Amino acid sequence: MPPKAPDCVTTRWHEMTYLPKPRLHHPSLQRNAAGFIRRDYEGAVSTLCAGCGHDSISAAIIQACWELDIEPHRVAKISGIGCSSKTPTYFLSASHGFNAVHGRMPSVLTGANLANRELLYLGVSGDGDSASIGIGQFVHSIRRGVDMVYIVENNGVYGLTKGQFSATADQGSKSKKGAINTDAPVDMVGMALQLGASFVASSFSGDKAQLVPLLKAAMTHKGAAFLDVISPCVTFNNHEGSTKSYDYVREHNHALCRMDFISSHAEITVDYAPGEVREVHQHDGSVLRLRKLPEGHDSGDRVGAMNYLHACQARGEIVTGLLYVDPDAADLHAHLDTTPVAFNTLGEGELCPGAATLEAINADLR
C-alpha cells in the first residue's frame, strides 16, 4: 500500500473569497517512488496576481520534487520578504518552512543547514530581497558554498510596493508609468559565477521544459546552486518597454543549451553522436546531459561561462540554461569539517562534551 497523502494538503480556506484547488485530479496521475502523486506536493492556493510568473516557478518546483521522489518532510523552504518570498506557501505544504526577515533568508538557511545537513534546502528569494536589502547575505552564502538551491524569482520590480524599479532592472527599461531606469543593473548570475557558486543557471518562468530539469539538477547538486529565473510581473512589468515582460523575454531568450536530467536509477542510454552532447556525472549518480552546446563552450569552465554571459548581455540577449557546474565541489560542511550527521541525532554527551574537553581545546590553543 502506498502511503496516504499528508492531511495538511487538504487544508481548505473558506475565509478567502476565492477557492482552493479542488482535490479531484486527473485519473492518470501516477504515484512516485515516495508514494505521492504530483498534487500532493502542492500548497495553499496562490494569492499572487493571476498570471504571475512566480506561480509557474512554484509549479515547476512541484513537478521537480515529484519527479525526484522527494519526501516532502525532507525539504526546508526558506524565504525572505516579497512576492517571491510568499511563494513557499503555495508549494510543498508538507515541508518545513521559514519566512525570514527581509533579505535574511541566506543566514537563516545557513544556520539551518549547519544544524541539520540532511535536509534539502530551497532558498526562495527575489530581486528585491537578494539584490537590494539582502545583497550582502546573498554574496556570503554563495561564497561559503552552503549546500542549497538558491532561487531568485527575478521580475525587475518591487511588486508589493506598486512596481518601482528593483536593482536588477535593466538600464533604459521603462516602468509602467513611463519612467526610464537610469541605473545599471545588478547581474546576479555574473556575481554568482564570480563568487564561486558551484552550480549557476538562468531560466524563464514561461519555459517549464527548461526550468524543471534545471531545478532537478540543482536539487541533486552538492554545494551552492544558484538559479536566476526571469519571472514577469503581470501587474507592473509586462508592458512595452519592459525588458522582463513575457514578450520581451521570449524574443530575446538565448537558450545556451538543452539539458536533460537523468536520475540515478534511470538506465542511461546513449543515442547521440560523440561531440554532440556532454554529460556531467553528479555525486548522487544522476547525469546532466547537455545538448546543442555552442561551439567551444564547456560547462565546467567558469571563466568561459562569464565571458559567454557578458558577450550575450552585450548583444542584448538573455542567456538561459546551465552556465556552469562543478560536480566535484565541496560545500560549507566540508570546508568546516563538521560532524557528518544532523545535530538532532546527537546525544547530550556529544553536544555538551564537558569541562575536560573544553580544557583540552583551550590547552591546544595555548
Under the binding rule (CB under 8 A), the answer on residue 64 touching other proteins is no
Q: List the x/- string, 249-278, binding to other proteins by CB under 8 A.
A: -x----------------------------
Give whole-number Cα distances, 290 to 147, 261, 281, in Å.
23, 9, 11
Q: Does 52 bind other proteins (CB under 8 A)?
A: yes
Q: Is 241 in the site for other proteins (CB under 8 A)?
A: no
CA angle (287, 329, 269) in 5-degree steps = 10
If you count them, how many residues does the chain have? 366
Buried b / exposed e across 134-153, counting CB within 10 Å, b at 16+?
bbebbbebbbbbbbbbbbbb
Q: Is residue 7 a contact point for other proteins (CB under 8 A)?
A: no
Minimal distance, residue 9 CB to other proteins, in Å: 12
Q: How far is the CB of 93 from other proteins (least distance, A)?
A: 15
DSSP state of 328: T
- Told to check if 22 binds other proteins by CB under 8 A, we report yes
Per CB under 8 A, the segment of 26-34, 126-134, 264-272, 301-309 that binds other proteins is 26-34
56 scored as a contact of other proteins (CB under 8 A): yes
Q: Is 28 in the site for other proteins (CB under 8 A)?
A: yes
Q: Would you count residue 87 as binding other proteins (CB under 8 A)?
A: no
Least gap, CB of 348 to other proteins (angstroms):
47
The helices-and-strands tally (H runs, E runs) of the chain is 12, 13
CA torsion sign for 81, 192, 54, 13 is negative
Whole-angstrom Cα distance, residue 271 to residue 252?
31
We find the least distance from the C-beta atom of residue 19 to other proteins, in angstroms, to be 5
CA distance 351 to 113: 17
Cβ neighbourhood burial of 37 (10 Å; 0-12, 13-18, 19+): middle
203: three-class secondary structure by DSSP: strand
Q: Which of residues 206-235 bind other proteins (CB under 8 A)?
A: 206, 208, 232, 234-235
Shortest Cβ distance from residue 259 to other proteins (Å)? 20
Q: Using the rule CB under 8 A, which residue among 50, 314, 355, 365 binds other proteins?
A: 50
CB nearer to other proteins: give 134 or 232: 232
* Residue 4 contacts other proteins per CB under 8 A: no
Q: 55 or 147, CB closer to other proteins? A: 55
- CB-based contacts of 325: which residues, under 8 Å, 6+ apart? 198, 199, 200, 217, 221, 280, 288, 299, 300
Asked if 23 interacts with other proteins (CB under 8 A), we say yes
Listed in order, strand segments (DSSP E) in 94-249 are: 96-99, 120-126, 148-154, 157-158, 164-165, 199-204, 224-230
Q: What is the contact surface with other proteins in residues (CB under 8 A)?
A: 17-19, 21-29, 39, 46, 49-53, 55-56, 58-59, 205-206, 208, 232, 234-235, 238, 246-247, 250
